[in-house]
Structure 1
Amino acid sequence: MNVSQLKFIELLVDYIVANGFIENNQVLTEDPFRSVGSIIDIFDTQQVHQLVGRINEIKAKIEIA
């Protein structure tokens, strides 16, 4: 991973820790995430799908609990 990708993941982890999960994936295009750059520009298409899939898995597990 490059520096931008690592920073994005760090922001993602911090966001989930603070908020429990990501209610709407649209948040990934807003601050603080866009301060690093667009998720589409930072990651390739496969990585974006994997990342969003993992985010949705976390949300589903929390909603079940």
Structure 2
Amino acid sequence: MRVVVDHQACEANGVCEGIAPEIFQLDEDDNLHLLDQPGADSEERVRRAVRSCPKVALSLEGDRE
């Protein structure tokens, strides 16, 4: 599974960072960065972060769910 960010849609609400800070990080300019792609230990948190994005700016490729 791979996380994809639609940077045009992202409003830097930080919901994803709050759920999975080991994967998502907002910088001081409110740009979202992926620190890593999810491993087995963070997969469920990443799915929850994607579902929780208020602007639907996150998606998953190759998701088995």
If the length of structure 2 is used for normalisation, what is the TM-score? Answer: 0.33
- For CA contacts below 8 A with separation 6 or more, give which structure has more relative contact order: 2
Q: Greater helix share, 1 or 2?
A: 1
Higher gyration radius (CA): 1
If the length of structure 1 is used for normalisation, what is the TM-score? Answer: 0.33
Q: Greater strand share, 1 or 2?
A: 2
